[in-house]
Amino acid sequence: MRPDTLHMTLAFLGDVERHRLPELQAVASRVAAVPFRISLTRQGSWHGHRIIWLAPEEVPAPLDLLQTKLCAGLRSAGFQLEGGSYKPHVTVLRNARSAPAEACCGEGLGWAVDAFRLVESQRLPDGASYRTLGEWPL
């Protein structure tokens, strides 16, 4: 994965009509949360070992609250969220040839979270492209 593609999704909306972007930005601007630190200590794979991810052992309370507030605001504004229960993770490798060995992370990868973003993704032949449409400090 390219460093500029690493991210942790809080809410996945799928395709959103362009005229609704100001609504999305307004919802995000009303979310109040505190900065926090997360440690990605678990690894795993999905889709026949083709996607390798890192995740926290437990979801930090500030991340859980941020995600809950954001999703509640989005639903209240009439946005449909895709996906099931929230499983925070960072995809680190796509099209892996095999599953990772059991232990990889040691003390984990520490990440200081002090903002969240509204990001538009686009699939391209050589991978995904991401464009920031808004950013809000915690």
Q: Does position 36 have pLDDT exceeding 90, yes or no?
A: yes
* Dihedral (CA of 122, 128, 129, 133) sign: positive
Query: How many other CB atoms are there within 10 angstroms of residue 17's CB atom?
Result: 7
Q: What does the pLDDT read at residue 48?
A: 66
- Which residues partner with 137 through β-bridges? 115
pLDDT by residue (tens digit) across 52-99?
A: 888 999 999 999 999 999 999 999 999 999 878 899 998 877 777 666
pLDDT by residue (tens digit) across 88-136?
A: 998 877 777 666 665 565 667 788 999 999 999 887 777 677 899 999 9
Q: Which domain holds residue 120?
A: 3-137
Lowest mean pLDDT among 17-21, 39-43, 64-68: 39-43
Q: Does position 1 have pLDDT exceeding 60, yes or no?
A: no
Q: What does the pLDDT read at residue 127?
A: 67
- Which residues partner with 116 through β-bridges? 136
Q: What does the pLDDT read at residue 84?
A: 80
Instruction: Determine the Cα–Cα distance for residues 43 and 76; give it in Å rounded to an integer.
Output: 34
- Which residues partner with 44 through β-bridges? 53
One-letter amino acid at 50 equals: R
Q: What does the pLDDT read at residue 113?
A: 95
For residue 77, give the CATH number of its domain: 3.90.1140.10
Q: Bigger pLDDT: 43 or 61?
A: 61
- Our count of domains for the chain comes to 1
Going through 1-138 in order, the beta strands assigned E by DSSP cover 36-46, 51-56, 90-94, 109-113, 115-124, 127-137
Instruction: Determine the Cα–Cα distance for residues 100 and 49; give it in Å rounded to an integer.
Output: 8
